[in-house]
Structure 1
Amino acid sequence: MVNRHLHRIHRADEIVFDRSADLSPSGLDRAMRFLSRAADKGLLWWFVAAVLGLVGGRARRGGVRGLLSLAMASGLANGILKPLFPRRRPPARVWTNVRRGVAIPRSSSFPSGHAASAAAFTTGVALESPATAAVVAPLAAAVAYSRVHNGVHWPTDVAAGLILGGAVASGTRRWWAVRTEEPAELGPTVDAPALRGGEDLLVVVNPDSGPDSVDPSEEITTALPKADVRALDTDRDFAEQLDAWVTDRKPRALGVCGGDGTVVAVASAAARHALPLAVFPGGTLNHFARDAGVADISDTANAVETGHAVLVDQAVVHTDVAEPAPFLNTASLGGYPDAVRLREKWQPRYGKWPAACVAMIRILSAATPLAVTIDGRPVKVWMLFVGNGRYSPADQVPMSRPAITGGLLDVRYVRADRTASRPRLLFAAATGTLGSSRVYVRSLVPRLTVRVDGSPVALATDGEVVADALKFDFRTVPEGIAVYRPQT
């Protein structure tokens, strides 16, 4: 029975293959030959990923996931499945068109590594950016077909490769969650001044935030011509500048355009002076702006003019050595603050992203357990994460924030006092089982107290290192800030 089915499959392969081989010579032959060669060793997809990196945003994330998926699918297809399932390549042909055909590899025909790589890369891109994948998919389909057109694979080899690549890329969701672009759930609506043209709105811009080639001040002024737009002096204390401007200008609302560190500084000023906050995306990642549902400057401008605002939670950490440090997104102890310091040291020489990558690798490779007492219980940890609001997913590395309301902190830490904690952590992360791992602890609490047993350690809030201390008291300020947000 099995042999009969295999015979039928092979016969269908022969029919489709022969029909492709009998196609009249055309410009398609040269294109198929070029694509097949360009995709050797995944070079074509590395080039596409580089282009997506220049595009940025979701396309860049798609390119990174696509390359990781490609590496896994290619390794599985070429390193494991081909030796396990040997199959002869299609018979060599004497092509009537010299532009057709490529050298026939000696490896097994099943499955097609080119097709697996093409499908893995495209599916990886699709998980992050379906619109980008729609552009990449025709190229992937052409590469897959080129293996049949050029006479090096049977059609079922290509079909198996496509299925394999798609499955491998889809499986990356188990250990690398897809970050949703949906805004977070926020608090109730609140009355806020409707400022026509931005009248009585003071907007603070950090000139060092975001891409060097973009100056958002002009766009903000165009959208809200009556707003008072000012640039921060990054060499002076932000809080002093903000308090002086508010005292002098007496605005009815505060606006901010910059990275998350700038946003939290202006948000703190807004809370101190009981003013609503308008967030204009202007940083590199814009975590808070994205979660608050303001995707671009025009969204915020419309909300300011209509007076539509909602309440969101704020968080604050009190230490034994410094003033309370507010944060809107996350705070952390352990390796991450040290990595931030190294990134800032190396960034002028290497650029932000290369410096951040090298710094994190350096810190993690030399990390030592941190002995702490968490809410009265002694424990050793590798790293501690505190999020303002609820982060998702619960059983993987947090990638998005479904809610910034409810008065809760999302607390996660990796235990270092369990046997083989590092290998167990890596295994749980790779298999998507962090939620059931005894080395990974997650809880939702309104308050958290951490005491360090040893030398002071660094605290990072919203990507900025703010203090070295021994005691940290984290707490939420429910519905502490009114934020302008477009009506949905």
Structure 2
Amino acid sequence: MSTPYTPGAAFPGRRTTARPGPVAAALLGQGAAGLLSHWDRRLFHTVATRRWPGAEPVLPRLSRAANHGLLWFGTAAGITVLGRGVRSRRAALRGVASLAVASAVINTVGKRSVRRARPLLDAVPAIRRLERQPFTTSFPSGHAASAAAFATGVALESRGWGALVAPVAASVAFSRVYTGVHYPSDVLAGLALGAGAAFAVRELVPTRDRLPSPGRAVAAAPALPRGEGLVVVVNQRSGSADSAALLRDALPLAEVVECGPRELAGELEGAARRGRALGVFGGDGTINLAAAVAVERGLPLAVFPGGTFNHFAYDLGVETVDDTCRALAGGEAVRVDLGRFTPGPPPGPGANGSGTPGSGTNGSRSAGSSRGARPGYFLNTFSLGVYPDLVRIRERWSPRVGGWSAGVLAAVRVLRDGRPLEAVVQGRRRPLWLLFAGNGVYRPVGPTPGHREDLADGLLDVRVVHGGRWPGLRLLAAALAGPLSRSPVHAAEQLRAVRISGLRPGTAMAYDGEVVPAPTDLTLDKVREALTVYRPRNLR
């Protein structure tokens, strides 16, 4: 009996399947890698043969502009110049640092690990092709890695700038396929490596939103949505001419008072009597004065940074008006320490850190030279030696040549003509170029003291540069050494109190940017968690 014929059967009566074509057979033989390569080439061909309206005059130029990271260095400069506040500068710096890490990884490891040839340009229209074709291997895309690293680094610090940079970065990445110099998988791998580099940099140098709270959380600060019950005093010498208008727009229910430096003390006292919370717009000196009034009246303080440096506000994590407004709306605040300098002998056993700040230039004017004088307070730093002289000369020249130029001229003048002071520190007489005390421990960011992670640690960051030759080199060595070090030229310790005596009459001291005559004897210590200040729990 005959068996029915089955078309395509190899042998009569035996069941078989159809044979794969040559392309499918090749892909099956190569496995997943072959399949991915096949779709990679098909996608590249689709991009190359498709017409993209408006892309021809833009994408090739954009791709060339990104050579050697020039586009991103220019973008970083633009963010620094156009951005307001330290957050923009920090976003630009983080973007460049992430780009540098990504480029180093791509050029030393990535390109050498997978030696993939560049795509053929047959399907790419001549108008899209780059004038100079790259000579390195194709995988991964260095341009895509740099674009992703820069954009991700910027976005980790500033969502606003990140949203503006991201479309440009995506366009640069796409341009590498559009111009025919990379396969899509090259670009995707570059994007992943670039983003990974940005996150790796964040692990080494955390963004502000990943740092711990700089103070002790407060649950009792009143919530003041839209500024209801808040009185803000604006130092007219700080910020721009529209600073008060900006505050009124952001906090329509707040009372905003503008005044000059001479009226600050009186206006702050009056504002403290009228409001449920005291607000202040200005630099570190103005905030110092407001902090003294807030502590005396038992009020929380709302800080709006408006000075040149704004060290206290930035260490607190408050960098914009929006930051403070969010904290006010939610009643979010922390308690922080105040540094204190007391003329005369050390405070007795009854001084438990609840002293009442006095009035003065920054909350305590001149410390005076008599025993029993009221203490002064500092939010950031206290110093004796060359720094007060530097500040005095800088302030004299800054109206003529600008702040930064005046600072350089003052440093040259002080290091050339300065003389070490004589003082008894912790019972030991010594010549000093500088005695620095920080309200809280300054953590190094790079080679110099950068910021404080804890404003309620109960410690003074004390650094001393001993007298001798070459003060500039001694000061540089002390800056490079960090917060805990000791050498023949400098010493750094973390203390709860420092006793200083034997100062000559007329010796200058500086605190929070103010320079005043120092008493002959004084003690530095801390007032623990004395100040309540608004600060959002979650930084953006």
Q: Which category of TM-score, normalised to the shorter sequence, fits these structures? A: 0.5 to 0.7
Question: In structure 2, what is the Cα distance between the partners aligned to 1:332 and 1:51?
Answer: 36
Does 2:235 align with 1:185?
Answer: no
Which 10-residue stretch deviates more, 314-323 or 138-147? 314-323
Question: In structure 1, what is the Cα distance between the partners aligned to 2:63 and 2:250?
Answer: 51
Please list the CA deviations of residues 176-208 of structure 1 after superposition, one character each: whole Å capped at 9, or x if unmatched: 5533477532376679999x9977x76532011
2:237–2:260 Cα contact (<8 Å) kept: no
Residues 363 and 250 (structure 1 numbering): CA distance in 2 closer, same or farther, change over 3 Å?
same
Residues 24 and 458 (structure 1 numbering): CA distance in 2 closer, same or farther, change over 3 Å?
farther
By how many angstroms is 1:357 displaced? 8.4
By how many angstroms is 1:263 displaced? 1.2
Question: In structure 2, what is the Cα distance between the partners aligned to 1:179 and 1:484?
Answer: 16
Pairing partner for 1:65 from 83, 94, 97: 94
1:334–1:370 Cα contact (<8 Å) kept: yes
Pairing partner for 2:158 from 129, 142, 145: 129
By how many angstroms is 1:283 displaced? 1.5
Pairing partner for 1:258 from 258, 274, 282: 282
SS in 2 for 1:146: helix
Unaligned runs of 5+ in 2: 1-30, 345-365, 369-374
By how many angstroms is 1:231 displaced? 3.2
By how many angstroms is 1:370 displaced? 7.4
Cross-structure match for 1:233:
260
Question: In structure 1, what is the Cα distance between the partners aligned to 2:204 and 2:478?
Answer: 11
1:263–1:279 Cα contact (<8 Å) kept: no
1:95–1:101 Cα contact (<8 Å) kept: no
Residues 221 and 393 (structure 1 numbering): CA distance in 2 closer, same or farther, change over 3 Å?
closer
Residues 43 and 332 (structure 1 numbering): CA distance in 2 closer, same or farther, change over 3 Å?
farther
Pairing partner for 2:84 from 32, 51, 56: 56
SS in 2 for 1:127: helix
Whose Rg is larger? 2
1:185–1:405 Cα contact (<8 Å) kept: yes
Residues 298 and 176 (structure 1 numbering): CA distance in 2 closer, same or farther, change over 3 Å?
closer
Please list the CA deviations of residues 235-265 of structure 1 after superposition, one character each: whole Å capped at 9, or x if unmatched: x3855x469x65x996576543322210111
By how many angstroms is 1:286 displaced? 5.1
Question: In structure 1, what is the Cα distance between the partners aligned to 2:377 and 2:492?
Answer: 22
By how many angstroms is 1:65 displaced? 2.2
1:386–1:409 Cα contact (<8 Å) kept: yes
Pairing partner for 1:477 from 521, 527, 539: 527
Question: In structure 2, what is the Cα distance between the partners aligned to 1:175 and 1:364?
Answer: 36
By how many angstroms is 1:124 displaced? 2.5
AA paired with 2:498? L
By how many angstroms is 1:446 displaced? 2.1
Question: In structure 2, what is the Cα distance between the partners aligned to 1:482 and 1:442?
Answer: 29
Pairing partner for 2:512 from 462, 470, 477: 462
Residues 148 and 400 (structure 1 numbering): CA distance in 2 closer, same or farther, change over 3 Å?
same
Cross-structure match for 1:24:
50
SS in 2 for 1:215: helix
Cross-structure match for 1:103:
131
Question: In structure 1, what is the Cα distance between the partners aligned to 2:182 and 2:223?
Answer: 67
SS in 2 for 1:117: helix
2:291–2:301 Cα contact (<8 Å) kept: no
Cross-structure match for 1:3:
none
Cross-structure match for 1:283:
306
AA paired with 1:283? G
RMSD: 5.7
Question: In structure 2, what is the Cα distance between the partners aligned to 1:112 and 1:360?
Answer: 48
AA paired with 1:104? R
AA paired with 1:213? D
AA paired with 2:234? V
Which 10-residue stretch deviates more, 160-169 or 60-69? 160-169
Pairing partner for 2:180 from 148, 151, 164: 151
By how many angstroms is 1:326 displaced? 1.5
Residues 14 and 473 (structure 1 numbering): CA distance in 2 closer, same or farther, change over 3 Å?
farther
By how many angstroms is 1:24 displaced? 1.8
Pairing partner for 1:36 from 43, 63, 67: 63
Which 10-residue stretch deviates more, 114-123 or 366-375? 366-375
Question: In structure 2, what is the Cα distance between the partners aligned to 1:292 and 1:470?
Answer: 36
SS in 2 for 1:314: strand
Cross-structure match for 2:359:
none
Q: Normalising by structure 1, report the TM-score.
A: 0.68
2:506–2:517 Cα contact (<8 Å) kept: no
2:91–2:158 Cα contact (<8 Å) kept: yes
Cross-structure match for 2:242:
213
Does 2:171 align with 1:142?
Answer: yes
Q: Normalising by structure 2, report the TM-score.
A: 0.63
Matches within 5 A, 1:264-279: 264-271=288-295, 273-279=296-302
Unaligned runs of 5+ in 1: 1-6, 429-433
AA paired with 1:100? R
